[in-house]
Amino acid sequence: MASTSSLHGLPADQRPRERMRDHGAVALTDTELVALLIGTGHAGVNAIDLAGKLLQKHGGVAGLQRTDVTTLIREPGLGDAKATRLVAALALATRAMNGEDVRPLITCSSDVGRIVESRFADLRRERTVLVVCGTRNRVIDVVVLSDGAAHTTTFPVRELLAEVLRRDGVAFALAHNHPGGDPTPTEVDRRTTTALRGAAAGVGLRLLDHIVLAGSEWRSVTASR
């Protein structure tokens, strides 16, 4: 197989696009369909090889559907455009199969905790995670906003609001962890939450909740006020 990163480097009868045109999508493997979505690979790895590696690493198509865009962006050869295109296609396939919007809703602090907990597993530094929501508080995306030192977290307010607006969000929730093991919100957490709520309202956004995690426990900064 050709080593070029583009599908155009393959013989005509091996190119997924031509095979789909001539025989339909049913003639293509999962690897070839993913390769069509990502388009190109990277140095020395063509799109089909990259697609195969992604499927193997993440547990096939079902595993890719469960993988968030932030994780895929970090994969060698993907980046922002390819990762978001792949996630979008898989999300559409899921919705078509179910006949409904299956994205989670945020109705309470527990929903936020369930959505973000995997982003904090065994983490020994502070991290800030943003949950972007659309209408009816349905989750659009989950973004790792910042990673800090062992006992320092930052809340980049402008960047946070820009991320929400960039994704056409209308509301959001925030989560960060306390590596020391105590999820009790600090006075700084409470002041920051108040300031963030005001800044969000100034650009037409709603802060749904802000939670602090420590291990398997979490506390809502909003509820503690």
Residue 71 sits in a domain whose CATH number is: 1.10.150
Task: Place 6 in a pLDDT band, splitting at 50, 70 and 90.
Answer: low
Number of other CB atoms surrounding residue 27 within 10 Å: 11
Establish if 153 belongs to a structural domain.
yes
Tokens for 161, please give them: 């609001």
Task: Place 100 in a pLDDT band, splitting at 50, 70 and 90.
Answer: low
Task: Place 208 in a pLDDT band, splitting at 50, 70 and 90.
Answer: very high
Question: Where do runs of H (alpha helix) occur along the chain?
Answer: 16-23, 30-38, 47-58, 60-65, 69-73, 79-98, 109-116, 157-166, 187-202, 221-224
Each residue's pLDDT tens digit, 35-59: 888 888 787 788 888 889 999 998 8
* Residues pairing with 130 in the sheet: 143, 174
- Quote the domain boundaries for residue 201: 109-224
Q: What pLDDT is stored for residue 196 in this prediction?
A: 93
Q: Are residues 119 and 92 in the same domain?
A: no
- Domain tally, the chain: 2
115-124, 148-157, 178-187 — which one is most confidently predicted on average?
178-187
* 192, pLDDT greater than 50: yes
